[in-house]
Amino acid sequence: MNEKIKKIIHHGFSYIFFSSLINKIINFLCNSAIVQLLDKEDYGIYVYAYNIISFALILAGFGIPAGLLQVLSEHSDKKAYSKLLFQCGTTLAGGFNIFLVIIVLLGVSIIPLKIPEAKLYVLSLACIPFFDTLLASQLIYMRSMLMTKQYAFANNINAICISIFSVLGAYWGGIYGLILGKYCAYIVSIILFAYLFKIPFFFTKVNVLKKDMLDLIKVSLVSVANNGMSELLYILDIFIMGLTIANQEVIASYKVATLIPTALTFIPSAIITYVYPIFAKNRDNRLWLKVKYRQLLISIAVLNFCVIVPLFLFAPFIVNIFWGNEYGNIVLIFRILLLNYFISGTFRIISGNLLVTQRALKFNFYVAMFSSIGNTLGNILFIPRFGAMGAVITTVSVVIIVSIISTLKLYCIIYKGESAV
């Protein structure tokens, strides 16, 4: 039995890891090409516009895709019932997203932006949350049903679609072409996956136990709060730069500095993508958790260290090769963000996700609230004084504190038998 489990973990992880690696390489090359195709000012405007839409993406689907991952993983042995539960969830998410798109359109039409040129781009991007949730739900379904090969394949096809359509769009039509390309990529991927993997979406009649729907809604509500406040760590900095500095070139430089450190999150994300359903199914097996968590933490720490060292040492060369002398001022920020990735990718991301498998939802909510408040206050205080470096100081400080708190809590649950509540 142990050999069988090892074999499943080995093969399943290899599919997801290498799929995520290919995915991130494709996305990185795509983003680098877009940086080269758009001039620095236009790229800064686009980044600011998409940053505003990112706030809507936090609420997209009302957290139901994340809730589906937990609930479907717990019902993965009941395929037919899981499919019905999935249909109910995606229907609720779709209905909420229609409401969300309307709110975005009305809000941006009424509220003036600090960078006025971004307004039409934000309006053009308003429907992104709707399509993003549909695609995310498809991928979640594959993850929860342990369709590892299909998930890996879908991830790469989606990355290829986004890259091809986005780069061609940016080349032929600038920012508007880029936005149109993103929509085309979403539509092609969603239709293709629905056809290839027979993934259902909306239901015509309810045939799901009330307690399971209430459980899904409960987990989803907490997830949207937790994930939302965690996501603020990545988007508040650019938003506050837009409010306080309103300089497109500073925004562009900071965004480019984050491209590689952000892309590296595929490492812990790929690992947690595969192990999450397994940890969720074994959440009451303390002996298993003690052994597997220790192995997981050591493996990720070693891997992350080996990845960031060469990137840190050759930072000036990397910046010049991919983005040119125009972005030569980002080397210091780039190096600090690499160190930030090591801390976040080794501790914060892993512990945060595994705490959810233990149903430590309330604890994660408080941690996420602290992250959100700390990040907001830090950015407001430091960005006007230190510019992009102020955002870096805030991000690193919050990540260190949250990583310590979350890792200690997970340790107490697994090794000390402390309650997750």
pLDDT of residue 11: 53
Residues 192 and 263 in one domain: no
153-184 pLDDT per residue, tens: 999 999 999 999 999 999 999 999 999 999 99
Show which of 208, 240, 265 is a domain's final residue. 208
* Rg of the chain in Å (alpha carbons): 21
Q: How much is the pLDDT for 208?
A: 59
Asked whether the beta carbons of 40 and 254 are under 8 A apart, the reply is no
197 and 57 within one domain: yes
Q: What is the pLDDT of residue 6?
A: 53
177: CB partners within 8 A, 6+ apart: 168, 169, 170, 171
The answer to the question of residue 11 being in a domain is no
Q: Do 164 and 302 sit in the same domain of this protein?
A: no
B/e letters for 159-186, b = 16+ CB within 10 Å, e = fewer, are bbbbbbbbbebbeeeebebbbbbbbbbb
Looking from the CA of 354 toward its CB, the CA atoms found within 13 Å total: 32
| Segments of the chain with pLDDT less than 50 | 1-2, 4-5, 8, 204
Question: Has residue 56 been placed in a domain?
Answer: yes
Q: Are residues 63 and 144 in the same domain?
A: yes
* 51 and 194 in a common domain: yes
Residues 6 or more apart in contact with residue 275 via CB below 8 angstroms: 9, 13, 292, 296
6 Cβ neighbours under 8 A, 6+ residues apart: none
- Domain assignment present for residue 280? The answer is yes
**Residue 307, CA distances (Å) to 29, 147, 276, 302, 335 in order:** 18, 28, 23, 9, 13
Look at residues 419, 397, 382 and name the one whose alpha carbon lies nearest to residue 343: 397
Residue where the block lists tokens 């009451």: 284
What was the pLDDT predicted at 5? 45
Cα separation of 200 and 179, whole Å?
Answer: 27
The answer to whether residues 325 and 418 belong to one domain is yes
Owning domain of residue 339: 249-421
Q: Which of 208, 231, 260 is the last residue of a domain?
A: 208
**pLDDT tens-digit map of 18-28:** 887 898 889 98
pLDDT value at position 4?
Answer: 45
Q: Contact, 308 vs 342, CB < 8 A?
A: yes
Q: What pTM does this model have?
A: 0.79
Domain count, the chain: 2
Residue 384 lies in a domain: yes
